[in-house]
Structure 1
Amino acid sequence: MKLVILTGPHAVGKMTVGQALERRTGLRLFHNHESLEPLLHIFPDRPDIWGPLSDQFRWRVFDAFSQTDAAGLIFTYMWAFDAPEDRAYIERVRALFEGRGAPVYLVELAADRAVRLVRNRSENRLLHKPSKRDLRQSEALFCQLEGAHRLNSLPGEIDWPHYLRLDNTALSPEEAADRICGAFAL
């Protein structure tokens, strides 16, 4: 059992790289929007409701999955590095898996803003994330989050034993997955 966390800013390619990593390793992908999309549909203007419900659902998935004999899980998460509650959340997930003997690998993706704006409109993204299909609203959220939070770490901020920062601006999802697998012998 192992956990791979893919983090990075809006439209950096977390889900798409996760899909390539899933194909390559057989680890199961649980991308962040799988817990969000049904709730966003039901409670579109109520983050006070969908946020906690999504967190509860994710935690139940992590708890149940970490007790199986599966090879591992890939989880995508947009971590606001300036928000202590995001660090606490990730550390809690990490502690759960490590407490059950599973190594946890953190991959931080980074890409140029212009590339991410193009990726924000990609067919794969829009297929798997219905809430992103309103491109005007999605790009407004992209800009809002960019202005409100620091979505990539500072040098030396992450001190995990299994950590990789990967600039995937010019990499295909398969190339990024290859580099992740090489870095961690997955």
Structure 2
Amino acid sequence: MDVIVIFGPPAVGKMTVGMALAEQTGYRLFHNHMTLELVNNFFEFEDPEFWPLVRQIREQLFAAIKHSDMKGLIYTFVWALDEEKDRQSLEKYCAAMGVSVENVLFVELTADTYTRLNRNKTELRLAEKKSKNNLEKSEANLLDFDNKHQMNSADDFIYPNHIKIDNSDLSPQQTAEKIALHFELPRK
């Protein structure tokens, strides 16, 4: 099974690129807000129950995927590259799927802040990610992540199968096409 991890800063387009890539390849998409929004129906992000529940649900889902006949999975992840716990979480998720992190296909998206602030307000993003509907809070969170964390690599990415794409001026379909060509992914 191919495992593709799309990562990058908030509102860079991980979910929409993942949707386009899933459409092109037939792979399943698991965008990180699928679990965040589920748990957020019961707990706030700051509640002590929130993150342990999110991790537990993800790990159980990944463990079930391990035993499926799924050909490929696309997973989106907001990865603070300067946070060891984020890398450890990702490695744990891969282990739950029975996949070595060295065999994961990593897609790093980057876009300028202006583009990301505009994408933060799109209809699809707000429909899929209810927790982003408070635009003032969402925008502040986006800028806070940029100020506090390393959200993109500086050509020092630690895993071998990696492509970095500035998708500021690309459509999700164009970005997905670049990914599919780079990794020679099967087409639907």
TM, length-normalised to structure 2? 0.92
Secondary structure of 2:150's counterpart equals: coil
Which string of whole-angstrom CA distances, capped at 9 and with x for unpartnered residues, describes residues 81-102 of structure 1? 11011111122233444548x9
Partner of 2:88: 88
Helix, strand or coil for the counterpart of 2:69? coil
Q: Over residues 121-170 of structure 1, what are the superposed CA-to-partner deviations in whole Å (9 max), with x where a residue is unaligned? A: 011100100011111111111122111111111212x2323111111111
* Residue 168 (structure 1) aligned with residue 167 (structure 2): yes
Q: 1:9, 1:152 within 8 Å by CA — same for their partners in 2?
A: yes
Structure 1 CA distance for aligned equivalents of residues 45 and 164 of structure 2: 34
8 Å Cα contact 2:45-2:51 kept in structure 1? no
Which residue of structure 1 aligns with residue 28 of structure 2? 28
The residue type equivalent to 2:178 in the other structure is: R
Structure 1 counterpart of 2:78, which letter? M
Residue-pair matches, total: 185
Gaps of 5+ in 2: none
Which consecutive aligned stretches of 4+ in structure 1 deviate over 3 angstroms post-superposition? 94-100
Q: Describe the SS at the equivalent of 1:115.
A: helix
**Counterpart for residue 60 of structure 2:** 60
- Counterparts of 1:95 and 1:16, CA distance in 2: 26
2:78: which partner in 1?
78
- Give the structure 2 partner of residue 5 of structure 1: 5
Question: Residue type matched to 1:81 in 2?
Answer: L
Indicate the residue corresponding to 1:51 in structure 2. Answer: 51
Equivalent residues in 2 for 1:13-162, closer than 5 Å: 13-44=13-44, 46-97=46-97, 99=99, 103-156=103-156, 158-162=157-161
Asked whether the equivalents of residues 30 and 73 of structure 2 are also in contact (C-alpha less than 8 Å), the reply is yes
- Separation in 2, partners of 1:88, 1:150: 16
Deviations 1:91-125 (A, max 9, x none): 2233444548x941110100011000000001110
Distance 1:118 1:168 in 2: 13
Q: Which runs of 5+ in 1 are unaligned?
A: none
**Is the CA contact (8 Å cut-off) linking 1:43 and 1:49 kept in structure 2?**
yes
Q: Which residue of 2 aligns with 1:179?
A: 178
Whole-Å separation in 1 of the counterparts to 2:95 and 2:88? 10
Whether contact under 8 Å (1:97, 1:104) holds in the other structure is no
**Cα distance, 1:99–1:44 mapped onto 2, change above 3 Å:** closer
Counterpart contact for 1:27–1:73, Cα < 8 Å: yes
Cα deviation, 1:51-103, whole Å, max 9, x if unaligned, reads 11001100111111022111111100000011011111122233444548x94
Q: Is the 8 A contact 2:9 2:79 kept in 1?
A: yes
SS in structure 1 at match of 2:74 = strand
